[in-house]
Amino acid sequence: QVRLVESGGGLVQAGGSLSLSCRMIGRTATNYIMSWFRQAPGKEREFVAAITRGDEIIDYVDSVKGRFTISRDGANNGVFLQMNSLQPEDTAVYCCAANWGFKTRAAAEYDYWGQGTQVTVSS
């Protein structure tokens, strides 16, 4: 059974930082395009960041460029999302996802999803 397990969410003040982790169980994460999505209350799920196989391409939504960094976690077969300069509008449930196909921001193209971890940024 393939699972994605996120950790690292929490409550932080505006301007602070959090680091999210996603561990893939049952498959080798480096064989997949790994991405982070987020969903705020009352809003649609939004693509945040992706890293391709071989780390050739890293993609970010404009709103997080320069603040968030996605990277591979080789030790735990997963990915990290380092989030700096957090703002209240970053408040959401953050989910890790894995895609066997091509790089895409479309959630429907992803094969596996984690349950998500809550990130809350207070003003």
CA-to-CA distance for 4 and 114, rounded, in angstroms?
4
* CA-to-CA dists, residue 80 to 67, 95, 101, angstroms: 14, 12, 20
pLDDT in the model for residue 56: 80
What angle is formed at CA 98 by the lines to CA 67 and CA 121, rounded to 5 degrees? 35
Query: pLDDT tens per residue, the chain (123 residues)?
Result: 999 999 999 999 999 999 999 999 999 999 999 999 999 999 999 999 999 988 788 999 999 999 999 999 999 999 999 999 999 999 999 999 999 988 789 999 999 999 999 999 999
Chain-centre distance for alpha carbon 77: 14
Angle at Cα 90 formed by Cα 8 and Cα 29, nearest 5°? Answer: 45
